[in-house]
Structure 1
Amino acid sequence: MQQYAEAHRLKFQTIRADQEEELSVEEVLDITTNWKDNIIHGLKMDDVLWHEDYQTTPYYTNKPDWDALNALLLYISAKYTNQEVPKTIERNINIYEHPIVKEFLEIKDFQVSLFDGSSWWIPIKRNIMFNSVLPNDEKCTLATSYLLLAELERYNRFEWNEDEETIISWQKNEGYGDDYNTESLAKFAFSILWQAAKFSLGNGTVILFDY
């Protein structure tokens, strides 16, 4: 919506519930830069990809929405537990209560940021996930874009084994239909997350879910 407004010279403003007093651009930049520097210092990083130069760094705004993300989690869970993938997925489902997903979470012996509570991925070339705080001091589980991309590459090798051109095409050729097909929605979400992870590492930007 913001991109549309900018392209058509329209005024755009995001209003969220319980919005606090608006900060200036300079104040927000100072807070986020300090937050970034604290994380970089805590991880003892030297080679840093992360940028907060909002005036020059491009940004990526595509998202799969929750039903497609849930379809991807269900698809992955079914494949790893050798179960048949449900043909369709219920809208607005609590995916963590689905029996196939619950079984996967009980038996998995590896870390999965998409399942284990992360909703922020920071542009750092390490396969790590850790507890931290956000710029507003809320506690959060953080992972890296490098870890997210590694997870997605593992899923692709395990199941589809497709090249990048095909994966990118899923954003246009797969997705939402009348029947909410699980595999089609899973491919749609996978494509967007794949591109987001690549973009994050290529441009030094943070990935976060839009709640």
Structure 2
Amino acid sequence: MGLDIYAGTLTRYYSHNWKNKVQQIAEANGQKCVMTDGLGNEIKPVEDKAEIMEVRDIICQWTEKLAAGLEQIGEPMPHPLWDEINERDYFTDKPDWEAFGALVMLQACHLQGCPLPEYVENGWSAFDEPIVKKSMSQKTDISLLSEVAHWLPIEDKAMFTINLPTGVEARVSTLPLLKQELEELNRRIWRADEHTILSWRDDKYYFPVKQKESKPLFGFLLRKKQGVKYRTEELAQCAFSMLYQAVNFAIEHKVPLLLDY
């Protein structure tokens, strides 16, 4: 399955009232794009307003329970933790696993003091790499190396395990901690200004090393050729740019950020 970044209300997310980059590009080109779940069933947005309000109520009850739990172990929390109006704007982008994995690998190599592999192949998974497995097993305070897929708009820089609104137990973190991680990684490796970081969000980083003349429509969205290589740092920079924009959007709008896959 592919990987998308989403920053917006959980009401909009769980009611499927958002479109990822694949859908946006398809619609811009006059094409229909049908998204399916793991069983092959079409995922349709919830249109009934009463049903959307029901989803919102569930999310609001969940956030209240979360705030109460956090208050028991720390400082007082705002009520509500954030606004769950369904119609609020959202941000999305699509690093896919290769680019996001390259960023995770970069973080792991930096943590272990090891050089970053120059290339990765199509279909490669960072989570199969020994250096990443070692870093994740050390239980660091780095959310990108802690199986976190949700970052919440809470002021504390923290990670904790909770049950999501779906009832699934998950490791979550906060937006300030993710922003700190990205800033620290940039300071130690690139020292890039914002203009440069934004320029990394460019499909050229998805071109195979020896196939620069071919032009994919959007990164990995087209059929991928097996065995081709990509520059690891360039993929990591592209994913960094996407996540950088997403976390800034989420902080500004006080909404959660999550990985959708």
TM-score, normalised relative to structure 1: 0.85
Aligned amino acid, residue 107 of structure 2: I
Cα distance, 1:76 vs structure 2: 2.2
The equivalent position to 1:194 in structure 2, one of 244, 247, 252, is 244
The equivalent position to 1:100 in structure 2, one of 131, 150, 157, is 131
Corresponding position of 2:37? 16
Aligned length: 209
- Are the counterparts in 1 of residues 148 and 170 from structure 2 also a CA contact under 8 Å? yes
Task: Describe the superposition over 1:141-174 as per-residue Cα deviations: whole angstroms up to 9, x where unpaired.
Answer: 1111111111111111111111122111110265
Cα distance, 1:2 vs structure 2: 4.6
- Are the counterparts in 2 of residues 68 and 175 from structure 1 also a CA contact under 8 Å? no
Aligned amino acid, residue 16 of structure 1: D
Q: Which moved more, 1:65-74 or 1:97-106?
A: 97-106
Corresponding position of 1:165? 195
Task: Describe the superposition over 1:120-141 as per-residue Cα deviations: whole angstroms up to 9, x where unpaired.
Answer: 1111121011000111111111
**2:98 aligned with 1:71, yes or no?**
no
Corresponding position of 1:54? 86
Aligned amino acid, residue 125 of structure 1: E
- What SS does structure 2 have at the residue aligned with 1:188? helix
Query: Sequence identity of aligned pairs in percent?
Result: 35
Corresponding position of 2:178? 148
The whole-number CA distance in structure 1 between the counterparts of 2:107 and 2:29 is: 40
Describe the shift of the 1:27–1:12 C-alpha distance in structure 2 as closer, same or farther (beyond 3 A). Answer: farther
- What SS does structure 1 have at the residue aligned with 2:172? strand
- Are the counterparts in 2 of residues 120 and 209 from structure 1 also a CA contact under 8 Å? yes
The equivalent position to 1:175 in structure 2, one of 195, 205, 212, is 205
Unaligned 5+ residue runs, structure 2? 1-21, 72-76, 209-228
- Are the counterparts in 2 of residues 174 and 188 from structure 1 also a CA contact under 8 Å? no
TM-score, normalised relative to structure 2: 0.70
